Amino acid sequence: MDSWPAIRSSIRLSGQRALSDGRQQRWDGFCRDLRRFFDRLQESATRLPEAEKARCGRDGVAAEIFLKIDHSERQVVLDKLFKYCEMDCHIFTGLLEILQRHFPDFDLMVPSLQGYELAREIHRFLGVPAIECIHLKGDGGERLLMGSSLAELSFEGIMEDTARHYRERGGVEKRRQEIAPGTEISMFLQGPESEEEVLWMQVRAPLSPK
């Protein structure tokens, strides 16, 4: 990772002790494309204006990417994808293009989706993901919903409620300027009586939607 000081990342392979020739070729191709992608991100980071460089994380980290390729579950687990500043290289679409090229038959699973902006990207490029569980916080405390209790929720509804929340408070950009660098922009769910903050939710979507 010394070649990409602006990127903090962890890329893991699991679920297969020894890869077959075909899977090894796929993994090698994925790693090759990922290195090229990291080269583009690093180059973009070196061109950042001073104001954007000042927003970067510790040691000048501009972006964080943590994911696991799980062959046994046929899924790509995206543990974290975050950029601290405005870069001229789009992180989610660049990474998604590589994943769809090499793992088109896998699902994308995000175990702790927190940020509204990443949620919008997932919705835009992969359609409506399935919510597998969600942790909410409201005036009455916190609650964790899963299984049949999710019937009352929809991902699209949360996106609409969140958009309304920020529209009534000056917009997403205003909120981004108010919070500290490295902080996710929260999502919200409007219930019958009060609004709840989405602390995190686990979602899943096919990498190649039909």
Indicate whether 21 and 59 sit together in one domain. Answer: yes
The tokens of 191 are what? 């219930």
Q: Write the pLDDT tens digit of every residue in 77-134.
A: 999 999 988 888 899 999 999 999 999 999 999 999 999 999 999 999 999 999 999 9
Q: Write the pLDDT tens digit of every residue in 5-58.
A: 999 999 998 876 556 666 778 888 999 999 999 999 999 999 999 988 888 877
Indicate whether 42 and 130 sit together in one domain. Answer: no
Indicate whether 70 and 143 sit together in one domain. Answer: no
Indicate whether 112 and 209 sit together in one domain. Answer: yes
Judge contact between 195 and 165, C-beta under 8 A.
yes
Indicate whether 90 and 160 sit together in one domain. Answer: no
Indicate whether 96 and 23 sit together in one domain. Answer: yes
Indicate whether 171 and 183 sit together in one domain. Answer: yes
Tell me which range, 10-14, 69-73, 156-160, 179-183, is most confidently predicted by mean pLDDT: 156-160
Indicate whether 81 and 143 sit together in one domain. Answer: no
* Domain span holding position 6: 1-105
Indicate whether 125 and 55 sit together in one domain. Answer: no
pTM for this predicted structure: 0.89
Sign of CA dihedral 131, 137, 138, 142: positive
pLDDT at 180: 79
pLDDT at 26: 82
Indicate whether 79 and 152 sit together in one domain. Answer: no
Question: Distance between CA atoms of 121 and 191, rounded to whole angstroms?
Answer: 24
Does the structure show a pLDDT above 60 at 149? Answer: yes
Q: In which band, very low, low, confident or very high, does the pLDDT at 157 lie, cut at 50, 70 and 90?
A: very high
Alpha carbons within 13 angstroms on the beta-carbon side of residue 199 total 11
Is residue 117 within a helix (H) or strand (E), and if so which, with residue range? helix 116-126
Indicate whether 146 and 66 sit together in one domain. Answer: no
Indicate whether 101 and 112 sit together in one domain. Answer: no
Domain boundary among 51, 78, 105: 105
Domain boundary among 74, 105, 136: 105
Domain boundary among 66, 89, 105: 105
Q: How many CB atoms lie within 10 A of CB 124?
A: 10
- Give the number of domains in the chain: 2
